[in-house]
């Protein structure tokens, strides 16, 4: 059973397109995250949601819009994709906002051409 699952795993798309990445966790956790890992492997938090409410919104372009329909899901929608958006996007969850251990999904490899 996959604890944190995200789809698609691979995505190749053209500049200017709009795409979404979906994430679901079956751990019963209250908090979910989106992280971006660039080509240099830096892991940077983008968003954090606790019980469907936005807690952290780092400095990311407003072309990125997270949506949490319930606490088990946190989707990421990206408008007007740019070349620099190419990265691996990891969804993650923790038991609570102070839940210490972060469990990552398998990652979504986004390539913008």
Partner 1 sequence: GENVEQHPSTLSVQEGDSAVIKCTYSDSASNYFPWYKQELGKRPQLIIDIRSNVGEKKDQRIAVTLNKTAKHFSLHITETQPEDSAVYFCAASRNGQNFVFGPGTRLSVLP
* Number of residues counted as binding partner 1 (CB under 8 A): 21
Q: Which stretch binds partner 1 (CB under 8 A): 16-24, 61-69, 76-84, 94-102?
A: 94-102
Match 């990206």 to its residue by tokens: 78
Q: Whose Cβ is closer to partner 1: residue 42's or residue 61's?
A: 42
Of the candidate residues 44, 54, 67, 82, the single one contacting partner 1 (CB under 8 A): 44
86 binds partner 1 (CB under 8 A): no
Report the site for partner 1 in 45-64 (rule: CB under 8 A): 45, 56
Q: Whose Cβ is closer to partner 1: residue 41's or residue 69's?
A: 41
39 binds partner 1 (CB under 8 A): no
From the list 78, 95, 111, the residue with the least C-alpha distance to 29 is: 95
Q: Give the residues lining the site for partner 1 (CB under 8 A).
A: 40-45, 56, 90, 94, 96-107
């Amino acid at each position: 059973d996959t604890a944190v699952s995200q789809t698609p795993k691979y995505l190749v798309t053209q500049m200017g397109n709009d795409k979404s990445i979906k994430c679901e966790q079956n751990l019963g956790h209250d908090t979910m995250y989106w992280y971006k890992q660039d080509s240099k492997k830096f892991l940077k938090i983008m968003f954090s949601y606790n019980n469907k409410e936005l807690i952290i919104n780092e400095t990311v372009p407003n072309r990125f819009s997270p949506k949490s329909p319930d606490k088990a899901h946190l989707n990421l929608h990206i408008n007007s994709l740019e070349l620099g958006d190419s990265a691996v996007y990891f969804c993650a969850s923790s038991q609570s906002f102070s839940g210490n251990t972060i469990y990552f999904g398998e990652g979504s490899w986004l390539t913008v051409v």
